[in-house]
Structure 1
Amino acid sequence: MLERAGIACETDIPAVDEDEVKQALRSEGARPDDVAATLAELKAQRVSRRWQGVFAIGADQMLECEGQWLDKPVDRAGAAASLRLLSGKTHRLISAVSVVCDNRQLWHHIDSAKLTVRPLSDAFIDSYLDQMGDAAFSSVGAYQLEGLGAQLFTKIEGDYFTILGMPLLPLLGFLRTHSVVPA
């Protein structure tokens, strides 16, 4: 997303056990917004340790539907189960971004969007997953709005980039104020 927006960046995968963090925060009564923010900051902190003097950007996304948190499905059965759960319902997608430099959080932002999934038949879900292939396992909810996933929805309220996984416009604003990108 950053590269498509013209931002030169390096990708550095942080070693974060997201499931462990989610379970711990959930047991403490954390809201999905708090979990997304915590994971975004933790990812940026881990990367920041390896890149001194550099803005490390971490992002995370949570999906909440009727009190349930959905993760990226690990297989076709999990993707189908996610789609069945979302079918005919409105869910909230929460995206958080954090900027850390030298192990100090400089900025963070959380945004959310509401997405309403049309009622999905089992035949549609099977066809959709056939067409999506392994891409269905790469995002929470088993969809990518920017592609075939657009067919799932009847209504969307919120920022497009937040839905894609990161509140990009506020991040670009922060980066402009720090002369990382031209104003």
Structure 2
Amino acid sequence: MRRKHEDNPGTHAPEIILASASPRRSEILSRITDKFTIVTSNVVERAEGSPEEQALFLAEAKARAVAAEHPGVVIGADTIVVIDEHVLGKPGSREQARRMLEMLSGRAHDVLTGLCVLRTDRDTAQLWCEKTTVHFRDLSDREIDRYIDTEEYIDKAGGYAIQGYAAAFISGIEGDYFNVMGLPLCRLVLLLRKTGVDLLS
């Protein structure tokens, strides 16, 4: 699926393409520019290796899948939650979401986002894995049940959304808040600059 967020001005600037169907990533990117196009990648989200390697592999796979048919500066991202070496993806059911929240309760976990910024006209790619540590307070069974009833866990790595009701579960974070939402904005700006695109000047 291809959706234009807004026409890019001029003919010389490369088109910025967000290779993601995530409304959260689109919302974050729109904080610094409204000149980008959304193209979903349809990449199967399966990978092997360390958590960092998995996130980077999938981010690059998404970017390259889109770049193959849509030239420009393509942004790919993949976010996973890691606790005790266990990678928590998106829960496929209420019960999976419950188990994830029980694992996270009262503990710290890491949120990793692999980033790939690929510029097709220069055949260059910038890769980075951003880490944010999130601390959960102790959650009661009732709190977990009520949260699951909101269905906010759907399509969320780790089974929660930091920008939603789950904000009340979090006692602290170390690192980029937007990384937990799925797109580390500070790091993205720096990677874009390395490809010759400066959105802030």
* TM-score exceeds 0.5: yes
**In structure 2, distance between residues paired with 1:60 and 1:123:** 31
Structure 2 unaligned segments of length 5 or more: list them: 1-27
Contact 2:97 2:159 in 1 (8 A): yes
Matches within 5 A, 1:7-22: 7-19=34-46, 22=47
> How much has 1:105 moved relative to structure 2?
4.0
RMSD: 1.8
Equivalent-residue separation in structure 2 for 1:148 and 1:182 (angstroms): 32
Q: Which amino acid in the other structure matches residue 115 of structure 1?
A: V
SS in 2 for 1:136: coil
What is residue 168 of structure 2 aligned with on the other side? 151
CA contact (8 A) 1:92 1:113 kept: yes
TM-score, structure 1 normalization:
0.86
Where does the alignment leave 5 or more consecutive residues of structure 1 unmatched?
none
Moved more, 40-49 or 151-160: 151-160
| SS class of match (1:47) | helix
Task: Name the residue aligned to 2:120.
Answer: 102
Pairing 1:23-172 to 2, within 5 Å after superposition: 25=48, 30-52=49-71, 54-102=72-120, 104-130=123-149, 132-133=150-151, 135-172=152-189
TM-aligned CA deviation for residue 176 of structure 1: 4.3
Contact 1:176 1:182 in 2 (8 A): no
Q: CA contact under 8 A between 1:71 and 1:141: conserved in structure 2?
A: yes
TM-superposed deviation, 1:10: 1.6
Residue pair 2:80, 2:158 contacting (<8 A) in 1 also? no
Please give the alpha-carbon distance, in whole angstroms, between the structure 2 residues aligned to 1:114 and 1:5: 24
Write the distance in 1 (CA, Å) between the matches of 2:104 and 2:187: 28
> 1-side partners of 2:138 and 2:191: how far apart?
39
More helix by share: 1
1:2 and 2:2 are equivalent in the alignment: no
| 1:46-92 deviation digits (Å, cap 9, x = unpaired) | 0000112x011100112111111111112211111110111112111
Q: Return the letter of the residue paired with 1:14.
A: S
TM-score by length of 2: 0.79
Shift of 1:42: 0.7
Percent identity between matched residues is 30
Q: Can you list the C-alpha shifts for 1:75-125, whole angstroms capped at 9, x where unaligned?
A: 211111110111112111111210113394421221101111111111110
